[in-house]
Amino acid sequence: MPPTLPKNHQPLSIGLPGSLRKLLEEHCQRSGETAEHAVHSALAAYLGHERHTIFQVSTSAALVEGVYDGCVTVGELRRHGDFGLGTFDGLDGEGIMLNGEIWQARSDGTVTRPPDDALVPFWVATHFVADATSHAGKISSWADLVQEIDALRSGENISFAIRVRGNFRRVKYRTACKAEPGESLVEATSHQAEFNAEHVTGTLIGFWTPMYARTINVPGYHLHLLSDDRERGGHVLEIEADEVEVSLATENHLSLALPETASFLQADLTRDPLADLARAEGDHD
């Protein structure tokens, strides 16, 4: 029986010349991408489909104030990107989107695929097409990784999607525990689950956002881990690696979907969220 396609996917059967098929297979072996995702990315780039566009659900200011009611489904997210991160209804763990697949890393350490009707209160997604790539040797700290990524960024006033593949000698990461009603982000993440993993091969997925946009998205670097075996995932706090490949995609368009939930409409979003975001997300400085 053929696999069931998501509702927004339509089957299309086409033939590929042998030379293209060979190039596609070599690319997939080298990058770890599925053939389907590679073809999607190539077509999106060729047709100019939402390239360089961030699709975002809700805002960082709302998250800080405890607005965790899910408002967009996982199935809907896939219509707007194949790469990104976020969280789930009630702040139930960390969300990761890679190669069009969405994963949920929970506070018990498990990583699972949520159903298409699962709801998210906050998410950042894009169709990832790398504009710049570099390779680095030993990474001894978060600061080392930041230095490598900084070298690829073209400026301070535009957003970037970041993909880091590597053999991670050590990763410290956390997953948010499901929040109690009325808890702020700082309160909810004060009892988050933290993990230390060694010798993990995987991908870091995330974004760099300018400081001036701090009420919209988490400013600076925000990265989530997904291991190749899909057994580990979460918000990255510390990192060491033997070697990494860093790819950046420039994001100069923003599509912002604001919730119409009662909690969002009634929230006071006038406060500067910077200090609370630093405490909740993990201040690496």
| Nearest by Cα to 74 from 128, 113, 33 | 113
pTM score, whole prediction? 0.82
pLDDT for position 2: 40
pLDDT for position 15: 83
Q: What are phi and psi of 218, to 5 degrees?
A: -65, 120
Chain segment 102-116, per-residue pLDDT in tens? 999 999 999 999 999
Q: Are strands 72-73 and 83-87 parallel, antiparallel or unpaired?
A: unpaired
Q: Does domain 129-252 have CATH number 3.30.540.10?
A: no
Q: For residues 11-32, b (16+ Cβ closer than 10 Å) or e, as one string?
A: eeeeeeeeeeeeebeeeeeeee
Average pLDDT over residues 43-60: 79
| Nearest by Cα to 193 from 115, 135, 107 | 107
- Residue 285: which residues within 8 A CB-CB, separation 6 or more? none
Q: For residues 243-254, b (16+ Cβ closer than 10 Å) or e, as one string?
A: ebbbbbbbbeee
pLDDT for position 3: 39
Q: Is the pLDDT of residue 256 over 90?
A: yes
Residue 221 β-bridge partners: 208
Q: Is the pLDDT of residue 227 over 50?
A: yes
Measured distance CA(190)–CA(249) in Å, rounded: 32
Task: Map tokens 């350490």 to a residue.
Answer: 109
The two structure tokens encoding residue 271: 């406060």
Identity of the amino acid at 243: E
Chain segment 148-176, per-residue pLDDT in tens? 999 999 999 999 999 999 999 999 999 99
Domain definitions of the chain by residue range: 18-47, 129-252
